[in-house]
A and B are shown apart, each in its own frame.
Chain A
Amino acid sequence: MSLSQSPRGATVAVIGGGATGLSAGWWLAREGVDVVVLDRGIIGWGASGRNGGGCSHHFSPLFVEEQRLWPQMDGLLGYPTEFQAKRIRIAYDEHQLELYGRAVRNAARQGFASTLLDAREVLEMVPLAGEDAVGGYFYDFGGHANPHRTVQAYAWAMQDLGGRVMQHTSVRGFRRAGGRVIGVMTDQGEIECDQVVIAAGPATGRLAAMLDLDVPMVAARAEMIVTEPLPLMPIGGVDGNGLYGRQTLRGNLAYGGGPHEWIEFGEAAGPPSSTPLMANIAGRLARMFPRAAHARIIRSWAGIIENTPDGRPILDKPEATGNVVIATLSSIGFGLSPASGRAICDLVLRGACGFADISSFSLSRFRRLEADWQSLQGWRETVTG
């Protein structure tokens, strides 16, 4: 696209070209809406391109839709996502086994089956697992996909339907009239619009504040590692032992986990810094997959992820701003993105989600939140007074 063809207006402007914003853009474009997705850098450059790729979020009101959509996504988008169905979680002690059991109960309540595996069955289903696994669960649902490919698939599919992407476009502010946003001010000029979606990951709070909306969130760092390719296991969606991740379709083991660090989110030029936590993750992975302990790590990386005070999403169209949808998935966004994008599309076009009860994602649940909540939770020391 040349400069002369740059969009200067759209019915809906989505700020943030991550999995959530691009999925929303794609769903809107499917409905024939003129949509533009803005990103300050390159699409999928934040946590959307740096996560474990899991698709099994049994605690979310979007779970059922997540499960319905993923097996169809390659066909719906027309581009590969590398979605692979099913999942196994391995426990290396009874405590882990107990913790992992809750997922099974949540899923069962919503009609999804799983099987408790004993140690022998774990070894049969997971060739890389160790003799000392105490057991695990086989989920007859869920799965995993390739975040990089999926984010690009959303963008291309949206473009096929007439939607537009503007990369390297930073939002500087908003133009308002009559209590509504009528334009997004960017370093590339103003984008006139009828509706706005703010799905900007850790920047969502800062952008919402420009509209006098208090969207509480703090950013944190999480880290992952990836090994050289290994022969494919029958089910790649295997994790546990405190790790999340998957064996990719190429055969690499891509896993993350471990302690986080709350940080001040700045719009840094470079990619997020990683730390020696790589070694800790390697230790956990070598223990989970002793038969892969000699596999070599070839990269590690970090992602910066926002969390709301309760760690749950905000998908809401606050009354105060009328035509603005706030969308943060609070650190668990990639797997839910097929469903969250549809929910956002519903909020934009119809004011409410038509396929799931997302009332627990309302911004108003924080109406009693303490001003110094960040301090109280030990996330960031806030100066009051």
Chain B
Amino acid sequence: MPFRPDPKSIAGTDLPVHERTQVLIIGAGPAGLAAALQAASLGRSVILVDENPLSAETMGENVPLHFGGGMTNAVRNRNAMLEAVVESEPAFSEAFDAGIDIRLGTTCWGVYAPGPDVGWLPGPVAGLMDGDRSWMVGAEQIIVAAGRRDMGLSFAGWEKNGVVGITAAVRLAKRYGALQARRAVVLGSSTEALQSALELRDAGVEIAAVIDHVFEPLGSPVLWAQLAAGGTRGLFGYVPREAVGAQESVEAVIASPWRASDSDGAELTIACDTVLLGVGAVPVIELLDSVGCQTVFDGGRGGVVPVLDGAQRTTKVGIFAVGDCAGIWAAKTLDPEIARAEGRRAASQTEQVQAETSGGPTPDFGEYRLRWVQAAVIDSEGAAHVCQCEEVTAHEILEVRPPRYLGWEDLPPASEADPVRRNRRDLHSLLGDSPPHPDQVKRLTRAGMGVCQGRRCREQVAALLALAANVPLESIPAATHRAPVRPMRLNLAALASSESAAMAEHWDTWFGMPSQYVPYWDVPETYTAGERDQDAEVASE
């Protein structure tokens, strides 16, 4: 008898897609554009999507970057922003001329691919959305060029408007022309931070100071010399204590020498309207991780990065990663040609012939970020929320405290009358012999479960767990990413629904087995497949 797949499952069906292309490229930075031009030159059909210009609402929620309220009201004018984004990138016109289907203001919220535990996808697919539509695209090749974002760092006042990720600030300044900052203090001195600071200075922002816990700049001395020559003050061996200002605004940052430093300076107050978070440029791997590409922590490549071969292939067939999301290091930051070459290799699927020269020693970002969290978050013994969405402090994360909405904090110790006790567990009770898992801590404390989808606290939580367990950052498992990688309205997501009439008919059945819901008093003594009831209608319970 021929095999007939369970009609109540999705076996034997293929996900319908709304459009197809040979190559889908996500992100129109240098790497994504180079990939698009290369693919087009090979005669392949190309869709290139980029989510800029973002809506003001999305920016307001610090998605996908830590905008920190640092944008002007101009971002509310969508047409003007669209124009600004188009004009900010001369290569767009080259891409238009090459026949590339460029879609701005279009976000990829999920990439999916078949695998051992997913059969119903015919190949790689991506979910896209713009302001009022969402749909699925099938592609032979998906090249993710999702760029970088900024690691969060919690200190008193970091929730204020004006504490802005440095990548977000550069985005606002260079692509939108909508950055508020006039006078800024930069936290961090990696090559990435220093280069961004120089770009902002070129855009008219005064860079008052660079603060770092290390004693000399972590990144390129050449870049630091350029900043210093322009009057930027270097506060090395210092950490930010507080961003102060009336109500929600920033008027100054207070810096103090870190305990581990031998600088005997006193606290300093530096007037500024903006504090730029530059302590870590983080590869944006959310699409890659959520589709199941293998990742690895590499302190020399910016943190958790996809595992890639010489042609930028991930471990998922048809999915590629290029540009900053494939790894960030100083030489690549200084020379965008490296990212472009990655894009071209991915598009032509050719292996790299010769390894890039690194352009000098690469700092270990793992150790550097651990020290930042130690200095700014733990040693300050403050009560800043590491997870701003769910309002969870470092202390609460390390004690694995149940969230405040349960009112658990106020309960008296257990008594016979009221046996419900306060949680008196800490991280070590979760550990056993193994490293702590951020997802487990997330489930219990809710740190990372909010609307910003963990973007502002993910690296901090990993560092806190590493410090508490006294292990290197790379031994902490990476918290998982899940689609949708942008907060997405239910009624917008619903537009991509594939619910057919056949699917609707069997929808209400959990696993489609009438026998599962037969009350126990009616269950026959034995069960066989041949005698089973296939037709009774049941609802999942």
Contact = CB atoms under 8 A, between A and B. Distances in A.
Interface stretch (A78-86, A337-345, A346-354): A78-86
Contact of A1 (B425, B432, B482, B512): B432
Interface string B448-476: 01110100000000000000000000000
Interface string A261-298: 11110101111111111111011111000001111111
B512 to A, nearest CB: 7
B353 interface: no
B6 A262 contact: yes
A145 to B, nearest CB: 12
Contacts of B528: 368-370, 373
B432 A166 contact: yes
Contacts of A177: none
> Could you tell me the dominant secondary structure of chain B's interface residues?
loop
Interface in A178-194: none
A109 B10 CA distance: 35
Contacts of B538: 99, 102
B515 interface: yes
A42 interface: yes
Interface stretch (A24-32, A115-123, A307-315): A307-315
B539 A100 contact: yes
Interface string A359-385: 010000111111001011111010000
Nearest to A39: B432
A275 B418 CA distance: 45
A310 B434 contact: no
Given A273-B117, A300-B483, A244 B15 contact: no
A257 B525 contact: no
Nearest to A374: B529
B60 interface: no
Nearest to A91: B539
B433 A378 contact: no
A162 interface: no
A75 B419 contact: yes
A312 B522 CA distance: 13
Contacts of A176: none
Interface in B520-536: 520, 523, 525-530, 532
Nearest to A369: B528
B525 A59 contact: no
Interface hub of B405, B432, B444, B526 (most chain A Cβ within 10 A): B432
Contacts of B449: 298-299
A167 B490 contact: no
B72 interface: no
B530 A376 contact: yes
A172 interface: no
A148 B355 CA distance: 45
Contacts, number: 296
B510 interface: yes
A58 B112 contact: no
A96 B537 CA distance: 10
A278 B112 CA distance: 11
B510 A279 contact: no
Interface residues of B, number: 97
Contact of B496 (A58, A59, A276, A365): A276
A134 interface: no
Interface in B489-541: 489-491, 493-499, 503, 506-508, 510-513, 515-520, 523, 525-530, 532, 537-541
B10 A365 contact: no
A23 interface: no
A57 B425 CA distance: 32
Contacts of A378: 3-7, 9, 11
Nearest to B507: A242
B246 interface: no
Contacts of B403: 250
A133 to B, nearest CB: 15
Interface stretch (B120-128, B147-155, B173-181): B120-128
Contacts of A375: 3
A360 B494 contact: no
Given A167-B432, A310-B515, A367-B526, A61 B520 contact: yes
Given A54-B541, A311-B516, A381-B3, A3 B419 contact: no
Contact of A261 (B11, B451, B483, B496): B11
A269 B541 CA distance: 31
A307 B9 CA distance: 13
B492 to A, nearest CB: 8
A258 B508 CA distance: 7
Contacts of A368: 526-528
A259 B10 contact: yes
Contacts of B5: 378
B99 interface: no
B414 interface: yes
B491 A293 contact: yes
A378 B13 CA distance: 14
A275 B6 contact: no
Given A78-B420, A377-B532, A381-B3, A59 B517 contact: yes
Interface stretch (A8-16, A204-212, A220-228, A317-325): A220-228
Contact of A221 (B110, B117, B480, B508): B117
A274 B125 CA distance: 12
B446 A275 contact: no
Contacts of B523: 312, 360, 365
6 closest pairs, A vs B, by CB? A311-B516, A283-B494, A282-B493, A378-B6, A148-B443, A99-B539
Interface of A: 1-3, 6, 42, 44, 49, 54, 56-61, 74-76, 78-80, 82, 96, 99-100, 102-103, 106, 109, 148-149, 152, 156, 159, 165-168, 220-222, 227-228, 242, 244, 249-250, 257-264, 266, 268-280, 282-286, 292-302, 304, 307, 309-312, 330-332, 357, 360, 365-370, 373, 375-379, 381
Interface of B: 3-11, 15, 110, 112, 115-121, 125, 127, 134, 136, 290-292, 294, 390, 402-403, 405-406, 408, 414, 418-421, 423, 425, 429, 432-434, 437, 439-440, 443-444, 446, 449-451, 453, 480, 482-484, 487-491, 493-499, 503, 506-508, 510-513, 515-520, 523, 525-530, 532, 537-541
22 contacts: A80-B420, A152-B444, A156-B429, A165-B432, A166-B432, A167-B434, A259-B10, A261-B119, A263-B117, A269-B294, A275-B15, A276-B136, A282-B497, A284-B507, A285-B490, A296-B451, A296-B489, A300-B483, A330-B516, A332-B516, A332-B541, A370-B529
